[in-house]
Amino acid sequence: MERALAEARIAAAEGEVPVGAVVLGPGGEVIGSGRNSRELDRDPTAHAEVLAIREAALVLGGRLLDGCTLVVTLEPCTMCAGTILAARIPRVVFGAWDEKAGAAGSVYDLLRDGRLPHPVPEVAAGVRAEECAALLRDFFERRR
């Protein structure tokens, strides 16, 4: 989570919503990292999770991330949850809950919806939640 928090801090410094993510390979090494860059890239899909997953897929040489773990500072949204399922990531760890758009247990629970034709990933929520939430809170307070 420390590496994901570092990515989130960089995003905040760049004027982006401070969300960071890393993908850990089967051996625990970082194989992908990302931070929100929707404004900089002018890309509505440039969420931290999507960028980290794209990088990890390039490193592994395929679209499936079996045996990997995604670590992200904020609960994934529906787009990111769909990307996680499409990549078949078996473990997701996140920090702060997203009470407005979360799709891993708060507003929706897309990741654990057994009706979908994807394996259900293990989800660990609330890891360093206060620290992750404080980054977001401070960012939005400064913008008001």
Q: Tell me if residue 49 is catalytic.
A: yes
Q: Is residue 77 a known part of a binding site?
A: yes
Q: Is residue 47 a known part of a binding site?
A: yes
Contact residues for 42 (Cβ-Cβ < 8 A; gap 6+): none
Q: Is residue 68 a known part of a binding site?
A: no
- The neighbouring-strand residues paired with 24 are 30, 69
* Angstrom distances, CA of residue 93 to CA of 13, 25, 28, 84, 141: 24, 14, 13, 12, 26
Catalytic residue among 49, 122, 130, 131: 49
Contact 9, 136 (CB under 8 A): no
List binding-site positions.
47, 77, 80
Binding site residue list for Zn(2+): 47, 77, 80
Catalytic residues, by residue number, are: 49
